[in-house]
Amino acid sequence: MKNSLQTDKKLNTITLIGPPNSGKTTLFNFLSGQNARTVNYPGSTVEYATTPLKTKYGIDAELVDSPGIISLMPGSPDEEVTINALFDHPRYGQPELVIVTADAGQLTRHLIITSQLIEAGFDIVLVLTMPDLLAKKGYRILSNELAIKMGCEVVIVDGRNGDGIDYLVETVKNKFERLQPDSGKKILNREQVSRKDQDGLLADYKRVESIVAGTIVSLEKIPDKRNLDKANKQLTVLDHSGGLNKIDASTINIDKYMLHPVFGILAFFIIMTGIFTSVFWLAIPFMDAIDGFFSALAGLAVETLGATWYGDFVADGMISGTGSVLVFLPQIAILFFILGLLEDSGYLARGAMLVDKPLSRIGLNGRSFVPMLSGFACAIPAMMAARTISNRRERLLTIFILPLMSCSARLPVYALLLAFLVPADKVWLGGIALAGIYIFGIFGSVIISAIANKFNNKLFGENDDSSFILELPSYRIPKLSVVLNNTWTSSYSYIKKAGPIILVFSIALWFLSYFPNPNPQIDTAGKSAEEVEEAIQIERLETSYLSDLGTLIQPAMTPIGMDWRVGVSLISAFAAREVFVSSLALIFKVTGEEDEIQDQLLGEMRRAEVGNTGQKLFTPATILGLIVFFVFALQCLTTVAVSRKETGGWRIPILQLILFTFIAYGATFLTVNGLRAIGIS
């Protein structure tokens, strides 16, 4: 039987490895340009980004990025899978070359993984990043001396402008020119590295410390040296390399306020509120442009195809249904962009430190912050990010509450419902309300987590001792090209994931709402063309398959003041929350022929009544009830599937589905009827 390397290997492989915050992502973006793609290969649960180097650099190899790791001794399930794939990737086998990134200002810690990789037998190129931050501390690095002592090639790359990339490419080319074809796998010393005892690890650290101390020298002139020394005295440094790992003075001065127990928390809430306020009002011009485009496209389809079933299918079932959701793409892109700025600046690590203490009171710690923040984009990658939490109970509890984070799929729903409530001339109110919704969701998740942590030892496991240690990177100005590239990748991934689902369900809902009575008989006497068309649509909907389905749902919708049309939209949203908006657009026959799609849908919602009672269907009470429902409900079957995979069974995902749906319905009932009881209807 052939081994996996012989069976699957088609290209030379270069694997990119590095500790978190070591500049690995920036380096990958420089090397990939716009050719990167993200994949999950069979046999691996870790998401990899890959890019071919043949076209741009003439290197016949595939560059494979991987999640950050600090050593070859795994401390979490995510690290274990990453290290397993490094030694024998499910598709690529063993890499011909490993590029390791290390922050030039944190070498004592970051060179440990390099030392272990060399000891294990990998061919290494060490890339030192962020040399500007090292220079700010008053030091420079002797790269040739470091290369001799480490026993590998060393290249310095400046992530601000890409200086050193060309030399790195030439170094890699030279490596591959000397590469001899190998018919089998290399003999790697994994066991020797991964099974070291405490004395062995201590010896490694001392060796690296000695190397660093001998290869970093002071600059001739150190600006503000007295101030820098004074600031560094305030730090506890876990090395003896002459202060090389000390954080620069500007970072210390900023952290006096950003990590302050009062001012830091206040700044955190201001930043989070600013994010969601910006998401609401910055996106308006872009949303108007997309809305107008899809509205014009739907109108053109009706004009071209005429008042036929296929004309209605294209205009309503395909264009308007999809457009009613994609109109909210600018808000999602802005959210990704702002979060990217915070991550690249170094602030997200501070956010994790700030929330560690409050999270510890509900059974979590600061490591849960990044998955929870990722949950604002999508619960699926957030659950995968929870693999970095080594404590099993904390990992399962984090996964349990992640569906309560208001993901980007909820954003179109919130935007539509808030647009119903907020006056058009007071958009800023919508931003504040959106921030309030996110904060409300966070507090709801905290309460549920606290209850689950207290009573569910059988489900999540017993409380184990855990600690939270996090390396805080120096503050730096975000690199705009990197942030924009990541924003584009994330936004495109959203379209790719949500687009097909939205289109399929839009077509299915169109069919259910159009048939079996496509041409109802209407009395046209004394009616205008517009009135006749409206009567046809109402009669068609009331005699449709969708209406038949709605009669089954109505008993559950009456107690919360809604009807079957909202119920059908809520059920369709279990495939993807965004479908709720397109479902309403289809049910209310919004085509965008006269008005823009969103404005027309809001108009139809304001006119809608519950049956023939004359009672308005959508009121402030029911709209707020719907917002509360979407805060708590787990309306994403893909999330359920991923939860099952990440928790290793069906108990937690089934509990999530049942419990969160029950809480959502109960909270909606209390909201709607409570508001009505005090006169808000």
| Sequence-separated (6 or more) residues with CB below 8 Å from residue 341 | 478, 483
**What kind and span of H or E run contains 17?**
strand 12-17
pLDDT digits (tens, 9 = 90+) for 404-442: 888 877 888 898 898 888 877 776 777 788 888 888 888
Separation of alpha carbons 664 and 635, rounded Å: 11
Separation of alpha carbons 644 and 365, rounded Å: 23
**In this structure, what DSSP letter does residue 408 have?**
G
Question: Between 520 and 64, where is the model more confident?
Answer: 64
Whether 547 shows a pLDDT value over 80: the answer reads: no
Low-confidence winner among 48-57, 238-247, 289-298, 645-654 (lowest mean pLDDT): 238-247
Whether 350 shows a pLDDT value over 60: the answer reads: yes
| pLDDT at residue number 491 | 78
Question: Between 31 and 180, where is the model more confident?
Answer: 31
Question: Between 95 and 245, where is the model more confident?
Answer: 95
Low-confidence winner among 29-38, 203-212, 548-557 (lowest mean pLDDT): 29-38
Q: Token digits for 101?
A: 């990134």
H-state helical runs in 543-596:
545-557, 564-572, 579-587
Question: Between 52 and 43, where is the model more confident?
Answer: 52
Using only C-alpha atoms, what is the Rg of the chain?
Answer: 29
In percent, the amount of the chain with pLDDT more than 90 equals: 6
Whether 472 shows a pLDDT value over 80: the answer reads: no
| pLDDT at residue number 390 | 65
Low-confidence winner among 22-26, 193-197, 293-297, 556-560 (lowest mean pLDDT): 193-197
| Sequence-separated (6 or more) residues with CB below 8 Å from residue 673 | 559, 560, 561
| Sequence-separated (6 or more) residues with CB below 8 Å from residue 108 | 205, 208, 209, 212, 239, 241, 244, 245
Q: Which domains does the chain have, with CATH numbers?
A: 4-244 (3.40.50.300), 263-284+331-480 (no CATH), 309-321+482-677 (no CATH)
Q: Give the dihedral of Cα atoms 526, 528, 533, 537; nearest 10 deg.
A: -50
Q: Are 601 and 324 in contact (CB under 8 A)?
A: yes
Separation of alpha carbons 546 and 571, rounded Å: 12
Separation of alpha carbons 255 and 474, rounded Å: 10
Task: Give the three-class secondary structure for 128.
Answer: strand
| pLDDT at residue number 593 | 47
Which of 6-20, 235-249, 473-487, 497-511 has maximum average pLDDT? 473-487
| pLDDT at residue number 624 | 94
Separation of alpha carbons 233 and 203, rounded Å: 27
Q: In which residue are the tokens 């687009």 written?
A: 499
In percent, the amount of the chain with pLDDT more than 70 equals: 78
| pLDDT at residue number 392 | 75
pLDDT digits (tens, 9 = 90+) for 560-591: 988 888 888 887 777 668 778 877 877 787 75
Whether 45 shows a pLDDT value over 70: the answer reads: no
Task: Give the three-class secondary structure for 65.
Answer: strand
| Sequence-separated (6 or more) residues with CB below 8 Å from residue 681 | 619, 620, 621, 675
For residue 397, what pLDDT band results from cuts at 50, 70 and 90?
A: confident
For residue 523, what pLDDT band results from cuts at 50, 70 and 90?
A: low
| pLDDT at residue number 669 | 94
Low-confidence winner among 100-104, 501-505, 658-662 (lowest mean pLDDT): 501-505
Q: Token digits for 301?
A: 């389809």
| pLDDT at residue number 480 | 82
pLDDT digits (tens, 9 = 90+) for 302-322: 788 877 788 888 887 788 767
Separation of alpha carbons 607 and 448, rounded Å: 37
Separation of alpha carbons 128 and 143, rounded Å: 9
pLDDT digits (tens, 9 = 90+) for 473-495: 777 788 787 788 778 877 777 67
Which of 275-284, 377-386, 396-405, 581-590 has maximum average pLDDT? 396-405
| pLDDT at residue number 125 | 92
Which of 99-113, 220-234, 514-528, 599-613 has maximum average pLDDT? 99-113
| Sequence-separated (6 or more) residues with CB below 8 Å from residue 679 | none
Q: In which residue are the tokens 């600061």 written?
A: 366
| pLDDT at residue number 126 | 93
Separation of alpha carbons 501 and 572, rounded Å: 11
Peptide bond preceding 67 in cis form (omega within 30 of 0):
no
The crossing angle, in degrees rounded to 10, of helices 579-587 and 564-572 is: 140
Question: Between 341 and 5, where is the model more confident?
Answer: 341
SS3 content of the chain, % helix, strand, coil (to 5): 65, 5, 30
Number of H helices, E strands in the chain: 33, 9
**In this structure, what DSSP letter does residue 471 have?**
P
Going by C-alpha positions, the residue among 45, 35, 50, 36 that lies closest to residue 92 is: 50
Q: Token digits for 472?
A: 């805080």
For residue 458, what pLDDT band results from cuts at 50, 70 and 90?
A: low
| pLDDT at residue number 99 | 92
The crossing angle, in degrees rounded to 10, of helices 347-360 and 249-258 is: 40
Q: Give the dihedral of Cα atoms 156, 160, 162, 168; nearest 10 deg.
A: 20
Whether 100 shows a pLDDT value over 90: the answer reads: yes
Separation of alpha carbons 333 and 579, rounded Å: 19
Strands 153-156 and 124-129 turn out to be: parallel
Whether 276 shows a pLDDT value over 70: the answer reads: no
| pLDDT at residue number 385 | 64
φ and ψ of 100, to 5 deg: -115, 130
pLDDT digits (tens, 9 = 90+) for 162-195: 788 888 989 988 888 776 555 455 667 777 776 6
Whether 658 shows a pLDDT value over 70: the answer reads: yes
> What is the reported pTM?
0.57
